[in-house]
Each structure stands twice: as C-alpha cells, then as structure tokens.
Amino acid sequence: ILAETPEDVAIFRARIDTIGRELDARAAAYERSILTDAMRARFETFTTARAAFVPLRDSVLALASRGDDAGALSLLRGPAFVAQRQVV
C-alpha cells in the first residue's frame, strides 16, 4: 500500500518475510521453555491468533501488489486489523 515502485514492494515483502521468520524462531524457542499449563495456554492462544492473521496479511499483500490499494486497505482496516489485535 505504501510502496510506490516494484522495488519498494520487493523491499517491504522481504522485510515482512524476515520478521515472520524471526517470529517463528522466537516462538519455537519460547515453546521449548514453557513450564506451566498457563504458559502453554497463552502460547496456544498466540499461535491460534497468528495462524488466523497470516492468511489475512498475505491477502493484504497480494491485493496491494496487484495495485488494489482500496481492497488492501479495506481488509487491513477490517478483518486483518481485528486478527492482528488478537496476536499482540
């Protein structure tokens, strides 16, 4: 949505992919350190919320990359926003 050139799209997408991989690694490390049922429950809440968010994020990126900024913004301000709030 903010990208003005194909190069910008590639840069933003690469950064999003990097952040996703870093989050995967940190989640895996955290999962190995879980000691209590409460910690496990919170982790499962996080992973469920993230699993719901990622396809919406990918849809926003796909719409934006096709130049459908209005569609991307609509999804970003609606379902993707709600799903993102569940992750954090």
Distance CA 59, CA 63 (A): 6
pLDDT given at position 22? 97
Backbone phi and psi for residue 2, each to the nearest 5 degrees, phi listed first: -85, -15
pLDDT given at position 35? 97
pLDDT along the chain (88 residues), means of 10: 79 92 97 97 95 93 88 92 85
pLDDT given at position 84? 87
Cβ contact 29:45 at 8 Å: no
pLDDT given at position 66? 87
pTM to 2 decimal places = 0.79
